Amino acid sequence: MSNQIIGTDVDRAVEILRNGGLVGLPTETVYGLAADASQKQAVTKIFAVKGRPNNHPLIVHVESVDAARQWSSLWPQSAEILGTTFWPGPLSVVVKKAPDVLVEVTGGHQSVAIRVPGHVIALELLSRFSGGLAAPSANRFGKVSPTTAQHVFDDLGTSVDYILDGGPCAVGLESTIVDCCGDIPVVLRPGGITTEDIQKIVALGDDDLGMSRAPGMLPAHYAPQCQVTLFQELSEAMRASETFDAATLRVIDASTNPLVFASSMYSQLRQCDIDGVKHLLVVLPDANGIGLAIRDRLTKAAHDPKNQSH
């Protein structure tokens, strides 16, 4: 079954998207669940398939900075600088939307998030499709993001019309989101492009950059079945590990090589569930560079939904 739905036929993907279908989209961050951003019914399907609340905005993927400008009624200098510096790449800008951008895409907001993905197959698809693709991560709402075509199939099965296989995602966690609507850009979600790199080219507002706070982001997210507990030091994790049954325990040290860890983080979370792990103890990386984004995702993965306040 999975063989028929997973493949590398870009023309087939384009045709499906033009006909209002859904395509699993390989990017450098995570796999997206893509639909033609200009077709209301196609965009609506994304929410149904993911089980995502329809007020959670989607990111529009486009092929170039020129294409990105078309989606905004006011393209700020900060978006221009960020786009020309980091695209194609794991950074999304939030800008004032152009009048014809569907509110189904923006979750009812007057702003829209846009990015140019840094993946050769995604760019090939966008160039042949010549339009924007709305694409959140291709997993069920609140669960672990997919970083391979097989993960997409495992999560969504045949409710996706076709899954383009672009291999494992190189970055492995979601894009950095920068809100460029105000006078001073603000990081709404840490991600593949680090805050330090952004600050080299634009001044950022608000120094509270550690946790994502874009609309539609909840305290619990990216969560595997197993219980995730976080530690600052390996010694603490090892001490705590003695209190659990070794047969269903796993300890992961994310602190030694955060970049490499990021690329396999979601695969490792998925593997814990496949292996029947009940307790996962993770040693966090320092809160800088890609470590900020890892800490953000793992903090949400570790959040107990029963304590969720909104």
Contact 93, 180 (CB under 8 A): yes
Contact 63, 112 (CB under 8 A): no
d(CA 110, CA 104): 11
- Nearer to Mg ion by C-beta: 137 or 212? 137
Among 29, 78, 137, 148, interactor with Mg ion by CB under 5 A: 137
Residue type, position 69, single letter: R
Q: Taking CB within 5 to 8 Å according to partner kind, which of Mg ion, ligand AMP, none is near residue 186? A: none
Among 102, 112, 116, 169, interactor with ligand AMP by CB under 6 A: 112
- Nearer to Mg ion by C-beta: 92 or 137? 137
Q: CB of residue 109 vs ligand AMP: minimum separation in angstroms?
A: 4
- Nearer to ligand AMP by C-beta: 56 or 128? 56
Nearest to 221 by CA among 159, 295, 286, 301: 301
**Is residue 215 a contact residue for ligand AMP (CB under 6 A)?**
yes
Q: CB of residue 137 vs Mg ion: minimum separation in angstroms?
A: 3
- Nearer to ligand AMP by C-beta: 14 or 188? 188
- Nearer to ligand AMP by C-beta: 111 or 147? 111
Residue with tokens 């870009």: 10
Instruction: Considering only the stretches 35-43, 55-63, 238-246, 279-287, report the one whose residues sit in contact with ligand AMP under the rule CB under 6 A.
Output: 55-63
150, two tokens = 């097989």
Q: Looking only at residues 217 through 256 of this chain, which bind ligand AMP when binding is defined by CB under 6 A?
A: 217
Residues 6 or more apart in contact with residue 207 via CB below 8 angstroms:
none
Instruction: Considering only the stretches 66-74, 109-117, 147-155, 242-250, report the one whose residues sit in contact with ligand AMP under the rule CB under 6 A.
Output: 109-117
d(CA 170, CA 192): 10
CA dist list (Å): 295 to 40, 68, 120: 35, 30, 28
CA torsion through residues 139, 140, 141, 142, sign: negative
Footprint on this chain of Mg ion (rule: CB under 5 A): 137
